[in-house]
Structure 1
């Protein structure tokens, strides 16, 4: 396995550091909380969503153009809930993968990010991640710049940061990445998610009761599961459940994801200080990936885009499907 060439001093080293931080925080989804009326709402961390398809290298200018542009196709006529229900139908048609607790969910993504939320150059990196199917081991990952096909870095163990001490890593294993026990009906899934919320690793000052008791929490938990593997029937129920969440809107016009695939974007509700979009194939409605932006002084700036390229079940970290 080759190491990334670090001859352009500090570039790739910083790139790996940045991407490691993003992936390590994929399960953390909250870093800031604040009261809104009688409830607490939160800013979700920009997640690197899981993996599939063909990749293209994006320049700094290319990201803004390709992910935000309005293309030649007319705006989508379907509502966000209709698109999510079509995504549910598409999900149920996918082949089902099975995994033992000792196996790993392998994902490959193409991610374009900025060093800072609203400034700095864009970097496009291909990431391969091995998450424990049963939550019995730490996640491992490797990266390479999209411009260097032979630039894979070493396989690295990823641990989440302690919210009380950002310089300290937690020894606890992440939750299982294979969600094989999820209900396959939306109402049953909603009850399950209310009883089993994702661990947000909130800072000590956060009002945990308000956050976990908020009516949006099951939807937050549902979205977090897209970082792992959800079997087809349960994934269909998950998208049908997201179709019920009020506030989602369709972004008009053609959208191109980080891998150059044309899709339709749904802007999800509940994000403070920015936006989170889910991208689906315009024709098949298969889930393609996500993109995130920040809003400063009324101006929206793209922060990251992540396209799924591959997803599989393997026996060990470093193994490719």
Structure 2
């Protein structure tokens, strides 16, 4: 995305910024999607398995899936049907407004207009081209579900996440590195590679050059996304594409025309609506573009500054679970993008805040 770093609110430093600059004794995550968090858990599983084998003990206990439920707009985890989470009554709930078809149509029209405005701003925003030997650096503040997979949702305190996205065209097995710092971090302070099967630049490894090669016509772009985005079980294709667009807008840098095309394409996805006020993990208020998915009983939000229309962050909700009596939205993840820039080396934070 070709956006400047999101603006701070107020004249003083926010509580989130104070936390980020605080000493490490407070014990100190927007991942692109669940894969990043899963990488951390795989590392832990491997360590446990190795230790158990060497000590000739029983295998490590089954993984708790709660750590995988860090927010990204895509973090719905195919929760419909197979969802085994129990939600604490009254915790993290917001009422779900009753809407008729006319109201929904009005909201959808409002979202399309707002996304067109955001696209117009994106077209006027400079983006620094990223070389193959560089990295896109994103620093964010995250709240994630730290409860057990089959237990109540328990949001963590805000903690820091840094992500260095590789720009090598590949195929590459390591597409980036992450470092999470805070009480909710699985391996706090450790730099962990994002590894998997070797992939070329593409939907699973979105480099600046690949993004720049995509169609800038919204209809052509949307057709490509519907063809390439994979759908998790229990999730609709529309939601998968909406979430993938959010992932790309949140943790990449792309040319202005491509960013504008993504926003306009999002406005063409069915059931995308606007919310007049939403809050990111850093406490910043903005307008939200959201989509509620009946198939997976989830709702994703993208939050934008009300004045500058800069991308601030995102939130994810579980919308219902009839088996457990859940009838209103339950927040299970939130993030705030605090910095986005280009760096020459992974593992090191930029010396200063630089606009993308």
- Which of the five TM-score ranges fits, normalised by the shorter chain? 0.5 to 0.7
Q: Decide whether aligned partners of structure 1 residues 217 and 306 sit closer, same or farther in structure 2, where only a CA change above 3 A counts.
A: closer
Q: Decide whether aligned partners of structure 1 residues 182 and 146 sit closer, same or farther in structure 2, where only a CA change above 3 A counts.
A: farther
1:191 positional shift: 3.6
Aligned residues: 256
State the structure with more CA Rg.
2
Q: Is the 8 A contact 1:91 1:233 kept in 2?
A: yes
1:152 positional shift: 6.6
Partner of 1:187 in structure 2? 219
- Residue 331 (structure 2) pairs with residue 302 (structure 1): yes
Partner of 2:52 in structure 1? none
1:108 positional shift: 0.8
**Structure 1: 5+ residue stretches without partners:** 9-15, 36-41, 44-62, 69-75, 160-169
**Structure 2: 5+ residue stretches without partners:** 1-22, 29-39, 42-64, 84-90, 96-106, 351-356
Q: Is the 8 A contact 2:221 2:261 kept in 1?
A: yes
> RMSD value over aligned CA atoms?
4.1
Partner of 2:205 in structure 1? 175
Partner of 1:155 in structure 2? 191
Partner of 1:51 in structure 2? none
Q: Is the 8 A contact 1:198 1:224 kept in 2?
A: no
Q: Decide whether aligned partners of structure 1 residues 218 and 122 sit closer, same or farther in structure 2, where only a CA change above 3 A counts.
A: closer
1:244 positional shift: 1.5
- Residue 126 (structure 2) pairs with residue 125 (structure 1): no
1:155 positional shift: 1.4
SS of corresponding position for 1:90: helix
Partner of 1:141 in structure 2? 178
SS of corresponding position for 1:193: helix
SS of corresponding position for 1:108: strand
1:279 positional shift: 0.8
Q: Is the 8 A contact 2:74 2:247 kept in 1?
A: no
Separation (CA, whole Å) in 1 of partners of 2:256 and 2:188: 32
Partner of 2:304 in structure 1? 280
Residue deviations 1:132-158 (CA, integer Å, cap 9, x gap): 1235333211122289xxx97121113
Instruction: Please give the TM-score of this superposition, normalised by the length of structure 2.
Output: 0.59
Q: Is the 8 A contact 2:72 2:314 kept in 1?
A: no
Partner of 2:289 in structure 1? 266
> Which of the two has greater helix per residue?
2
1:186 positional shift: 1.3
Picking from 311, 314, 318, the partner of 2:340 is 311
SS of corresponding position for 2:289: strand
Separation (CA, whole Å) in 2 of partners of 1:180 and 1:190: 15
Instruction: Please give the TM-score of this superposition, normalised by the length of structure 1.
Output: 0.65
1:239 positional shift: 0.4
Picking from 290, 303, 311, the partner of 2:314 is 290
Q: Is the 8 A contact 1:4 1:153 kept in 2?
A: no
Picking from 233, 242, 264, the partner of 2:257 is 233
SS of corresponding position for 2:254: coil
Separation (CA, whole Å) in 2 of partners of 1:122 and 1:146: 8
> Which of the two has greater strand per residue?
1
Q: Decide whether aligned partners of structure 1 residues 294 and 133 sit closer, same or farther in structure 2, where only a CA change above 3 A counts.
A: same
